[in-house]
Each structure stands twice: as C-alpha cells, then as structure tokens.
Chains A and B, each alone.
Chain A
Amino acid sequence: MCTQDPQTGQYYGSNCGSQGQGTTTDRDTGLSSPCRCEDTNGFNQKPHDPNDYDRVDWGNIFTATAGIVVAAVIFSGCATGTALVGAFACGVVAGAAGSATTSLLNGNDAATVAEDAAKGGLWGGLFGGLGYGASKTAQALRPAAPKLPKDVAVNEVAAKTATTSAWDILMPGGNAIGKAGTDATIREISGGYSDAQAMFNQLSRGGRVVANTSKLTRVELPNGGVVQLRTVMSRSPNTATIDVNIPGLDITKLKYNP
C-alpha cells in the first residue's frame, strides 16, 4: 500500500488513486499486488520519498521534459513530407529515443531502459501515424487552389487589388460617391479639374496609359477595366469628366461640376 501522509491524510503515488486503492501487475513476477507508489503510468520510477511530498519534483519534471524534447526534435526532423510508413517509423524512433532518455535519466538498468524504449516506440509510431493521417485529412478537406500559370495568378491578384481599391474610392461606406446624375451610374461631384485629376490618379494607379492627348488620358487597368479623364469633349463648359468601366462597379461616369 502507499504511504499516507500523517498530516494531510493523502496518499503518495499518482496511479494509486486518491485513497491508495487499486492493484497493479508486477513487471517481474506477473503477479497482481496492491497499488504501489512506484507504479506510475506504466513507467518505472523510483519510489516517491514521503519527505518530498510538499515539494515540486524537479527531478522527474526534468527527466520527462528531456525525453519529450528528444522525441520532438527527432520527430520534427524526419516527419515532414514523409508517407504514412515514414511517419510511423519516425514516430517509433522519436518515441523510443524520448522514452529511453527519460528512463536513463531516472537511473534505470539497461533492461528497463530497453523496455521503456520499446513502449515509447510503439506510442510514438502510433502518434506519428495518426499525425500523418490527420494532415492528409486536412489537405483533402481544404479546397484545392486552381493551378494557374504564374503570370495569370499574379494578374488575378493585381486585378482583385485594383478592383478593391476602386471600390473603396468610389463606394465609400458602400454608398456611391457624389450624387446621382441623369441616372444612378453617373455621379456628380463638386470640384474642378484638379479634383478630377486627383481622383483619376487614384483610380488609374497601376494601370497602363493607352491614350494621352491634350483632350484626354485613357488608362487600362490590370483587371481589364478602363478609366478615362477628358475635358473639352464634354458638352458642359468648365467641367471635367472621368469615364469609368471597371468590372463589378455600377458607376460609369464621374462628372465634376465647379
């Protein structure tokens, strides 16, 4: 039976239950016996010293941590990108090494270390295989990204960015900029040519100039959209107009009125 602390009334030994109850099978004789303090989680440990009851057992924490670190380092070094068999083997090696490390640091003899290594290897292999299966399942559930030529993918990103930017500029807060003109897709804005020019500079950022005369500037955007700033072509004198054709935007013209 485990030793009972005379002051607290609690029992020592983590596997012995809160009242020291239970039985365990002796690894040497195969006989069942009352729960012993040294039987903890199936690993051999030195009997707990009742005098250390109220203290943190830094020795055991150190040996357990050392084993975990050894196993983690080995596993992380060999598990990446391996197949199921590789992941299992990697887990076996890591688990065995980690368990053997802990067992050695606990001062066990060679036979016990070997036995602990075997147990750790089995558990490590099991977790390695489970980890591989989980990663493959996650990959299967994740939507496959379309495989596009590099330049196409880059253009799509650029197009999305350009559209998002134009949307932010022309639909602040989700509402179309300015006030409706002859129809809702035409937006009238108070301002002169310099204001129109500033707006055009924002909308055409990242685009390619395809026409540039004293009367107009037209820019092709990466997303296929086109914006054009024109002056004298407008019937209304002293006004500047920006023609807009950007996919996804329900605005075709910005008319600046002084």
Chain B
Amino acid sequence: MTGEEVAASVAVAEAISRELDEDFVGLWKLGWHLRRQIPGLPDEKVRSLAGAILQGLRGSAVRVGSLSEESGIFTPWPAEVAIDRAMQAWAALGRDPNIGEIAWLVRER
C-alpha cells in the first residue's frame, strides 16, 4: 500500500465513520469515495483498500449486514465472515456496487 493509498483509505474511513454516527451507509460508498480520492485506481486495488477500511471500522462497532427493503430491518452478518462475504460478493459482481447492492454498514450503539 502506497502512502497515497494509506492517506486515501484513512480519509475514506473517517468520512464513512462520521456518516455512520447518524445513518446507515451502503457498501457502495467505499468504492465511490476511494475512486474520488484516487482517480484511475484499478478495480482490484479498490476492493483491497475497501476491505482494509472495513477491517478498520470493525474496531469501532461497525457491523456489515443486509437491510430488508420491505421491513427496513438491518440483519448483521456473523462478524467473523461478514467482511470476507462482502468482498467476495463485490469481486463476483465484477464492478463497484451501486446503491442497495451487496451490503450495508451500521454502527452498533
């Protein structure tokens, strides 16, 4: 990870963390912010940085899971597999997730 990538990852993690204080955050926002921080970043690098950011947020009570569009209820995925599951789904998608795709992030209170 280059210095630029580290700085970008920290900036994105901070932005996501602040937003999680008041709202759910879609997984799509990680890719969106990373590409805005470092234009032209390869897809694989975006995914690896996003995974690292999720690992960092895990330490501040952030859970990854699904959000029912019918009931609005958030269901967290098991913590030990949640990040891998999200990143595998991202890789399988073959592009950055968009709004509502793959997973949501929630900060537990």
Q: Is the CB of B67 within 8 A of A183?
A: no
Least distance between A222 CB and chain B CB atoms (Å): 14
Q: Mark B60-71, 1 if CB is under 8 A from A, else 0.
A: 000000011111
Chain A residues within an 8 Å CB radius of B36 = 250
Given contacts A213-B70, A252-B29, contact A241 B23 (CB under 8 A): yes
> Is A245 in contact with chain B by the CB < 8 A criterion?
yes
Q: With A and B bound together, what is the CA distance between A233 and B70 in angstroms? A: 10
Least distance between B102 CB and chain A CB atoms (Å): 14
Q: Which of A214, A232, A236, A245 contacts B99 (CB 8 A)?
A: A245
Chain A residues within an 8 Å CB radius of B72 = 215, 232-233
Q: With A and B bound together, what is the CA distance between A228 and B72 in angstroms? A: 14
Least distance between A237 CB and chain B CB atoms (Å): 11
Main secondary structure of the interface of B (DSSP, over half): loop
- Interface size bracket, A side: 20 to 34
Q: Is the CB of B99 within 8 A of A243?
A: yes
Of residues 178 to 231 in A, which have CB atoms within 8 Å of B's CB atoms? 181-183, 185-186, 211, 213-216, 218, 226-228
Q: Is the CB of B70 within 8 A of A236?
A: no
> Is A155 in contact with chain B by the CB < 8 A criterion?
no
Q: With A and B bound together, what is the CA distance between A91 and B32 in angstroms? A: 61
Of residues 6 to 55 in A, which have CB atoms within 8 Å of B's CB atoms? none
Chain A residues within an 8 Å CB radius of B56 = none
Of residues 56 to 86 in B, which have CB atoms within 8 Å of A's CB atoms? 67-72
Q: Is the CB of B70 within 8 A of A218?
A: no
Chain A binder among B1-9, B13-21, B47-55 = B13-21
Given contacts A186-B19, A252-B32, contact A215 B71 (CB under 8 A): yes
Interface residues of A (CB under 8 A from B): 181-183, 185-186, 211, 213-216, 218, 226-228, 232-236, 241, 243, 245, 250, 252-253, 255
Across the A-B interface, the 10 shortest Cβ-Cβ residue pairs: A182-B18, A232-B72, A215-B72, A226-B99, A183-B15, A233-B72, A243-B99, A182-B19, A213-B69, A228-B99
* 28 A-B contact pairs sorted by A residue (CB < 8 Å): A181-B19, A182-B18, A182-B19, A182-B21, A182-B22, A183-B18, A186-B19, A211-B69, A211-B100, A213-B70, A214-B70, A215-B69, A215-B72, A216-B100, A218-B99, A226-B100, A228-B99, A228-B100, A233-B67, A235-B23, A235-B24, A236-B22, A236-B23, A243-B26, A252-B29, A252-B32, A253-B19, A255-B23
